[in-house]
């Protein structure tokens, strides 16, 4: 059944499979360890064509595995987990990653974890506020799976809590879905290293982090600190008039994070916040911003005398950045309800929404899963993007003259004083200075305008960027 799909894959980079096979045989020689793998087929269906892609359905295959072996009575262990995805239509979603390749050594009061790993910080199910160690992969998974992060992590286990110290290396850029991807962004964001003026520290590439966690009675808390390259990309213009393009850039940041969990009478109260001090490239100061989340979770067990339980999680998120590309939503209510059937198939239905209370737009989702045989599971996901369609700004169409371009670029100046507007301004100045006009410049202007539209201009309408991307997805997974 997989064969017809395989033949449709545009760039089936089978070389990507080699590392997995190789690792398989090498580690098999190791002996003693165990493998746990999953493989599956994912079909995604879109209600509408997007402005940049007419793909209405898309299939992809994925496989991931985990090898684990321990010795010295469990004091030493080794883990290896690669994953591979092959996509029917979108070469950007053909991805191979090693999520984990690490050696863990455990002593009475400390642990040393060396290698590529995945680390999750934070008390919220929504995640994202204080979580900073791994780069997110939004291309493969719209809600973000993580990319492996090379590190040395010393974890001290003491009476006063657990203290984790990290030295991180091998910073990885985020990949963004492009105009051909679905769900995707309506413009191409380059992740090509050569497009980006490399900072020295990106080459040396050491980041540092620490997290102290402790608990007392019904309280659990953590304080964390991160110094290094932000995992969050910002959007920039490459300042090339000859080959204009939109690029992602990264700032050096200092991040101070706090997490608190309080359990009372079946409720979990959650709080996360961070203060980020960062300096943007090119002297365009980003300054300091804070973001936070506060919420609660409650599980209604044996609802109405049934075997079902219902879990509620309602949180309010706040991000005080005004014009950041990544902070597309600023004041949001996140609500999640999960109905657990507690049956032998682990059937579960989740309803979720993220609602921007300031701008009246949001994302709604339904996720349902059920095991259909001992080693097979089916997952269904529907995601709906809601954004008011109003005040559509004038679009940049075919530019006929430099004068029109001039007028348009000058028009951007009206917007104000955000970081993005400065980008537009400098782009405009460059174009005016060199008097260059080409299709590429036209495209670049369009792309820039798309971003500005979504981030700055249409303040009530940021999610409009995703308005055609609502989708339904079915995933069939086999575990072996």
Partner 1 sequence: MVKNLIVGTLALVLAAPVFAETPEDKGLRIALEGEKTGEGWVDESSTLKMILINKKGNETVREMRSKATEGSNDDGKMLMVFDSPRDQKGTALLTHTHPDKDNDQWLYLPALKKVKKIASKAKSGPFLGSEFSFEDIGGAKIEDYDYKWIRDEDLNGRKVWVMEAYPKSKYSGYTKVISWIDQEDYRQYKAEFWDRKKSHLKTMTILGYKKYLDKFWRPAELHMVNLQTGKSTKMLITETKFDQKLQDKDFTKNSLKRAR
Q: Where are the alpha helices (DSSP H) in 332-413?
A: 402-412
| Binders in 173-212 for partner 1, by CB under 8 A | none
Helical H runs in 263-392?
none
- # of chain residues touching partner 1 (CB under 8 A): 51
Q: Can residue 71 be called a binding residue for partner 1 (CB under 8 A)? A: no
CA atoms of 328 and 108, how far apart (whole Å)? 45
Residue 278 makes contact with partner 1 by CB under 8 A: no
* Whole-angstrom distance, CA of residue 200 vs CA of residue 348: 48
At residue 369, the 3 state secondary structure works out as strand
CA 212 to chain centre: 25
* 239 torsion bin: left (phi>0), alpha (psi -120 to 50), beta (else): left
Task: Return the closest-CA partner of residue 13 out of 101, 92, 99.
Answer: 92
Distances (CA, A) of 411 to 110, 286, 396: 60, 24, 12
**Residues 107-126, interacting with partner 1 (CB under 8 A):** 108-109, 111, 118-120, 122
The interface mask with partner 1, positions 363-392, x = CB under 8 A, is --------x--xx-x---------------
What is d(CA 442, CA 448) in angstroms, rounded to the nearest whole number?
Answer: 10
User: Which residue, among 132, 94, 416, has the nearest Cα to 254 in the 3D structure?
Assistant: 132
Q: Nearer Cβ to partner 1, position 50 or 124?
A: 124
| Binding positions for partner 1, 133-152, rule CB under 8 A | 146
**Helix H or strand E encompassing 4:** helix 3-8
Which window, 263-271, 356-364, 391-399, 416-424, contacts partner 1 (CB under 8 A)? 263-271
Residue 470 CB, nearest approach to partner 1 (Å)? 24
Q: Which of 55, 91, 199, 213 binds partner 1 (CB under 8 A)?
A: 213
Least Cβ distance, residue 419 to partner 1 (angstroms): 32
Interface pick for partner 1 out of 169, 288, 290, 302 (rule CB under 8 A): 302
Binder among 13, 77, 273, 460 for partner 1 (CB under 8 A): 77
Rounded least distance, CB 172 to partner 1, Å: 17
Question: In the chain, helix, strand, coil percent, each to 5?
Answer: 20, 45, 35
Decide if residue 105 touches partner 1 (CB under 8 A): no
Q: Using CB under 8 A as the criterion, which residues of the chain lie in contact with partner 1 when the complex forms?
A: 36, 38, 68, 70, 74, 77, 104, 106, 108-109, 111, 118-120, 122, 127, 146, 155, 157, 162, 213, 220, 261, 263-268, 297-302, 305, 307, 309, 341-346, 371, 374-375, 377, 477, 479-480
């Amino acid at each position: 059944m997989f064969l017809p799909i395989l033949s449709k894959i545009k760039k089936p980079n089978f070389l990507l499979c080699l590392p997995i096979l190789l690792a398989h045989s090498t580690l098999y020689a190791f002996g003693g360890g165990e493998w746990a793998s999953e493989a599956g087929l994912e079909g995604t269906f879109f209600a509408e064509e997007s402005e940049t892609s007419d793909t209405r359905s898309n299939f992809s295959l994925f496989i991931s595995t985990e090898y684990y072996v321990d010795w010295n009575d469990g004091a030493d262990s080794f883990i290896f987990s690669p994953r591979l995805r092959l996509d029917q239509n979108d070469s950007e979603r053909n991805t191979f990653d090693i999520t984990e390749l690490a050696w863990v050594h455990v002593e009475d009061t400390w642990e040393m974890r060396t290698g590529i790993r995945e680390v999750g910080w934070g008390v919220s199910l929504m995640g994202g506020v204080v979580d900073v160690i791994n780069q997110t992969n939004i291309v493969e998974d719209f809600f973000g799976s993580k990319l492996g992060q090379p590190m040395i992590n010393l974890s001290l286990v003491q009476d006063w809590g657990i203290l984790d110290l990290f030295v991180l290396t091998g910073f990885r850029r985020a990949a963004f879905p492009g105009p051909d991807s679905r769900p995707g962004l309506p413009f191409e964001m380059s992740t090509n290293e050569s497009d980006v003026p490399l900072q020295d520290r990106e080459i040396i590439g050491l980041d540092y982090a620490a997290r102290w966690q402790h608990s007392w009675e019904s309280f659990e808390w953590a304080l964390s600190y991160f110094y290094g390259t932000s995992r969050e990309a910002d959007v920039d213009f490459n300042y090339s008039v000859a080959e204009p393009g939109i690029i992602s850039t990264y700032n050096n940041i200092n991040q101070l994070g706090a997490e608190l969990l309080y359990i009372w009478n079946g409720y979990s109260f959650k709080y996360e916040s961070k203060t980020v001090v960062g300096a943007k490239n090119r002297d365009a100061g980003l300054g300091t911003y804070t973001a936070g989340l506060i919420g609660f979770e409650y599980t209604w067990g044996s609802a109405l005398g049934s075997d079902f339980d219902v879990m509620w999680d309602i949180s309010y998120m706040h991000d005080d950045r005004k014009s950041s590309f990544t902070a597309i939503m600023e004041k949001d209510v996140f609500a999640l309800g999960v109905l657990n059937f507690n049956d032998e198939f682990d059937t579960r239905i989740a309803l979720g929404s993220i609602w921007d209370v300031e701008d009246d737009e949001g994302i709604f989702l339904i996720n349902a899963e059920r095991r259909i045989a001992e080693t097979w599971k089916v997952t269904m996901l529907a995601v709906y993007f809601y954004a008011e369609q109003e005040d559509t700004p004038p679009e940049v169409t075919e530019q006929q003259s430099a004068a029109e371009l001039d007028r348009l670029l000058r028009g951007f100046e009206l917007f104000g004083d955000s970081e993005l507007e400065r980008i537009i301004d400098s782009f405009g100045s460059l174009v005016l200075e060199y008097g260059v006009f080409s299709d590429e410049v036209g495209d670049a202007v369009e792309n820039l305008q798309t971003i500005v539209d979504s981030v700055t201009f249409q303040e009530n309408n940021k999610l409009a960027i995703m308005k055609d991307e609502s989708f339904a997805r079915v995933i069939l997974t086999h575990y072996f």
